[in-house]
Amino acid sequence: MLPASAFAVLALLAPAVSAAPAKRAVDTAYPYTGPAIPVGDPVNPSVDNGGKGNGKGYPRLWEHPAVYPAPGAYPTNNINVISSAYFPGGINIHFQTPFGIGANPVVQYGTSKSKLDQTATGFTHTYDRTPPCSLLPVTQCSQFFHEVQIKNLQPGATYYYKIPGGNGTTPSDVLSFTTALPAGDKTEFTVAVLADMGYTNAKGTHLQVLDAVNDGAAFVWHGGDISYADQWYAGYLHCDPSWDVCYNGTNSKLATPDGKPDNPDYSIPLPDGEFPSQGGPWGGDISTIYESNWDLWQQWMVDITKKVPYMVLPGNHETSCAEFDGTNGELAAVLVDNKAPGSTSKSKLSYYSCPESQRNFTAYINRFHMPGDVSGGVGNFWYSFDYGLAHFISFDGETDYYKSPEYPFVADLKGNETHPLLNQTYPTDAGPFGAINGSYKDNTAYQQYQWLVDDLKKVDRTKTPWVIASTHRPFYSSQTAAYEANIRNAFEDVLIKGGVDLYISGHIHWYERTFPIGHNGTIDKASVINNNTYKTNPGVSITHIINGAAGNVESHSTLGKAPVLPLTNTLDQTHYGFGKLKIHNETALSYEFLHGEDGSVADWVYLIKDKAPGGGSTGGGQGGQGGNGGNGGNGGNGNGGGQGGNGGNGGNGGNGNGGGNGGNGGNGGNGGNGQ
- Around Cβ 142, how many Cβ atoms within 10 Å? 29
Which residues on adjacent β-strands are paired with residue 83?
A: 94
Residue 360: how many other CB atoms lie within 10 Å: 28
Query: Which is it for strands 123-126 and 144-150: parallel, antiparallel or unpaired?
Result: antiparallel
Distance CA 618, CA 584 (A): 8
**Contact predicate 175/162, CB 8 Å:** yes
* Model pLDDT, residue 132: 97
**What does the pLDDT read at residue 250?**
66
Using DSSP's 3-state secondary structure scheme, residue 671 falls into coil
Helix (H) / strand (E) element for 577: namely: strand 577-585
Q: What is the DSSP letter of 359?
A: S
User: Could you state, in order of their start, the residue ranges of all structural domains in the chain?
Assistant: 81-585, 614-675
Q: Which residues pair with 385 in a beta bridge?
A: 392
User: In this structure, are residues 583 and 536 in contact, taking their beta carbons and an 8 Å threshold?
Assistant: no
Average pLDDT over residues 475-504: 98
CA separation for the pair 220, 434 (Å, rounded):
26
pLDDT for res 254: 60
Share of the chain above pLDDT 70, in %: 84
- pLDDT surpasses 50 at 263: yes
Band of the pLDDT at 628, cuts 50, 70, 90? very low
Which of 556, 567, 408, 409 has the alpha carbon at shortest distance from 476?
Answer: 567
Least confidently predicted of 280-289, 293-302, 528-537, 647-656: 647-656
pLDDT of residue 53: 66
pLDDT for 375: 87
Yes or no: say if 577 and 595 are a contact pair by the CB < 8 Å rule: yes
Which residues make Cβ contacts (< 8 Å) with residue 249, sequence separation at least 6? Answer: 239, 276, 277
Which residues, in sequence order, are CB contacts of 112 under 8 Å at separation 6+? 160
What amino acid is encoded at 54 in this protein? Answer: N
518-559 pLDDT tens trace: 999 999 999 999 999 999 999 999 999 999 999 999 988 989
Average pLDDT over residues 430-455: 97
* Strand-pair partners of 579: 193, 593
Dist. CA 545–CA 563, nearest whole Å: 18
Given its phi and psi angles, is residue 104 left (phi above 0), alpha (psi -120 to 50 degrees) or beta? beta
Secondary structure of 422-441 as H, E, C letters = HHHCCCCCCCCCCCECCCCC
Q: How far is CA 538 from CA 164, 296, 461, 609, in A?
A: 48, 42, 11, 9
Predicted pLDDT of residue 253: 64
What number of CA atoms fall less than 13 Å from residue 129's CA on the CB side? 29
**Tens of pLDDT along 296-333?**
999 999 999 999 999 999 999 999 999 999 999 999 99
Instruction: Give the three-state DSSP class for 619.
Output: coil
> Which residues, 6 or more positions from 115, have their beta carbon under 8 angstroms from its beta carbon?
none
Query: Given a cut of 60, is residue 284 above it in pLDDT?
Result: yes
Q: Are the CB atoms for 27 and 12 separated by under 8 Å?
A: no
Lowest-confidence region among 43-47, 77-81, 154-158? 43-47
Q: What is the pLDDT of residue 19?
A: 31
In the CATH hierarchy, which fold is given to the domain comprising 81-585?
Answer: Purple Acid Phosphatase; chain A, domain 2 (3.60.21)
Task: Categorize the per-residue pLDDT at 267 as very low, low, confident or very high, splitting at 50, 70 and 90.
Answer: confident
| Percent over 90 (pLDDT), the chain | 75
Mean pLDDT of the chain: 87
How large is the average pLDDT for residues 248-269? 72
